[in-house]
Chains A and B, each alone.
Chain A
Amino acid sequence: MNWRRLYAVLIKEFRQMRRDRMTLAMIVGIPIMQLALFGYAINLNLRNLPAAIADQSKTSASRQFVMDMLATEVIEPVMPAQSPDQLMGMLRRGEISVGVVIPYDYERRLALGQEAVQILVDGSDTVVQSAAQQLAQIPVGEPPPETDIALPDRQTTVPLPERPISIVAFYNPQRVSAINIVPGLIGIILTMTMVMFTSVAIVRERERGNMELLIATPISRAELMIGKVLPYGLIGLVQTSLILLLGVVLFSVPIRGSLLDVYIAALLLILANLAMGLLISTRAQSQFQAMQMTFFVFLPSILLSGFMFPFDGMPKAAQWLAEILPLTHFLRLIRGIMLRGANILELWPDLVALLGFVVVMMTLAILRFRKRLD
């Protein structure tokens, strides 16, 4: 290893990066965009569903029930209604997602313990349906209300538990998923950007003919590969810091373990992904192919790592597959460190798995890279 040559490659990469505005924008833009998307936009706890309420009872008790329902902010009345027929029409036309019927004899039904309120739901959207289930669990007076739904075409029956559970306890909009998502998001963003940047960076040099010049010089494979990878590693750490900072400021995400452990875990994932990017670059013939192969790795990472769906709920075969993805191990590490306050050494199996991944991938990449054109 000749340090001067390695340093020359490093400096060259930084200079090129500084002039590549698109990449610079992506380095900062991707974390911010993803954080905003996952933190704000993608929220499985629905609020403000368009609704109409037909209160035929018009008593103080029924008005109280309506107020309780509105207080959850799950539904938002968008138009007036008098009868169940009207509500069904609105549902069919897609003007509302939820209709509430309070019958004339609301108080008598309550007293008799009969079903007192009907909630009509647009069953074509399963997310709305599950939101309405939560809505139906508002406590109403003494005997619990029962709801039933009967709608032509898009009809659905919402089964309800015997005893209504307080919706306040069950549905808490403040418990947004951001806290669970942000640590995982570090992994997602690093996986996406690191693999892509390195694989594309090397293939681009090959496409532009720079590589032919480089391999005709005395520079060694390791100098070239390591010199290419290190600057991007630094970028990865900058991204990690950015996500952590935004997560803490915007979503009050806790960092219960040590910050050093967080960075160690992040650095390992960065190196694993960079090595993977290098390996891809030894195979890909064009920048487009490099992108394709990046997504070939990225999609299973997102779907199988436990970021989107609970790991334990997946079939065994999918779990085995997930074990060879660096993101799976990183998620276990980062959630343990940030949310449960674990020490990184307590999570040693995942630490070892990531380290092993880095060593194997980097070795393969350097071995596969030839200072030849054929």
Chain B
Amino acid sequence: MSESDVAIRARGLTKTFGSLVAVDHVDLTAPRKQIYGFLGPNGSGKSTSIRMLCGLLTPSQGEIEVLGLKIPAQAEVLRQRIGYMTQQFSLFSDLTVRENLEFLAAVQNVPGNKARSRIDDLLDEYHFQGRSGQLAGTMSGGQKQRLALAGAVIHEPELLFLDEPTSAVDPESRRDFWEKLFELTDAGTTILVSTHYMDEAERCHRLAILDRGRLVADGTPAELTGALKGRTLLVESANQRQARECLLSVPGVISAAQIGNSLRILTDGQGEGTAVQQKLQQALDNAEPGAHITPIAASLEDVFVSATHREAGDNAALAAAEPPR
């Protein structure tokens, strides 16, 4: 990737709050004009990372370059060129839709003569026709989130930071929202979006998986799932609970998640695919005769489980080591 194609580059990004390491030596490279996703559970350091990248938090360690600017030193210059949508709805709930946009247009230095037509366009584009006089606080979750996005792009920024933008909206609003995001990237905007939804993560051009402050996987969704080839299996049986218990005791099985009438198995990838399948079939024959095993394609959820499983193992060991209360 040549330098001009990179929107965000971070090396050894670290943030500590007291003794808590919120972000731990994260390296990132986000290309321009794409949607770059941060996937991770709550508390994995997604928000902290985003805040450091847009200059709101000072990193404890590491280097950041965003749109060719050194952050946090040049954060003030960067602020003219980015849009930021916070996790919590942060527009003014006691201002109307139009008043909020008017305020943001002025604060973001949109020239006065341009601002009016820009606001009218946004009201139209984001489906606020007839609602421009409504107080922002009285709108639904999906509407608030659309308004927040309209506010974040009012000055047509090159780079957009979206911190869990869809955590409080229904699936249909989420779909509409992502359509807007793709329209923006088509127009040349780079987007960094954090999420804990797998289906949203799958829509990203590129993805970083964070777990407890650490970067555990990084790549395109296809690369990430492709790396798990042969490690995911589907088990159909009469009694899933029994089958699950049996399979979890087989060495090499990382997880067995019940999906409706079947079990989704993730293995550690040791050994040849068919051999592993045979090993599992043998184990099942004793406990759950008639169970049927088929290989299936890996999903991002499998990637996530596989990437975080080592950590989870540490966690279990820690919990076991803890003295009983």
Residues of chain A at the chain B interface (Cβ within 8 Å): 2, 4-5, 7-9, 11-12, 15-16, 19-20, 208-210, 212-219, 371-374
Contact = CB atoms under 8 A, between A and B. Distances in A.
A19 B103 CA distance: 16
B58 A372 contact: yes
A166 to B, nearest CB: 62
Contact of B82 (A2, A20, A208, A216): A216
Interface string B125-159: 00000000001000000000000000100000000
A87 B201 CA distance: 89
Contacts of A217: 79, 104, 107-108
A16 B106 contact: no
B102 interface: yes
Nearest to A2: B109
B56 A216 contact: yes
Given A16-B95, A218-B108, A374-B58, 14 more contacts: A8-B102, A9-B103, A12-B99, A12-B103, A210-B92, A212-B88, A214-B107, A216-B84, A217-B79, A217-B104, A218-B107, A218-B109, A373-B51, A373-B56
A213 B100 CA distance: 12
Given A7-B106, A213-B86, A373-B56, A19 B76 contact: no
Q: Is the interface of B mostly helix, strand, loop or mixed?
A: loop
Interface centre among B56, B89, B104, B151 (most CB of A within 10 A): B56
A20 B94 contact: yes
B54 A216 contact: yes
A8 to B, nearest CB: 3
A372 to B, nearest CB: 6
Nearest to B87: A209
A209 B104 contact: no
B56 A372 contact: yes
B239 interface: no
Interface in B62-78: 72, 75-76
A8 B103 contact: yes
9 contacts: A2-B109, A5-B107, A8-B106, A11-B103, A210-B92, A212-B88, A213-B90, A218-B79, A218-B107
B102 A19 contact: no
A278 B55 CA distance: 23
Nearest to A374: B57
A361 to B, nearest CB: 25
Interface in B213-250: none
B42 interface: no
A215 B43 CA distance: 23
Interface string B78-120: 0110101010111111110001001110111100100000000
B106 A218 contact: no
Contacts of B103: 8-9, 11-12
Contact of B89 (A11, A209, A215, A216): A209
Contacts of A4: 106, 109, 112
Contacts of A208: 88, 90, 93
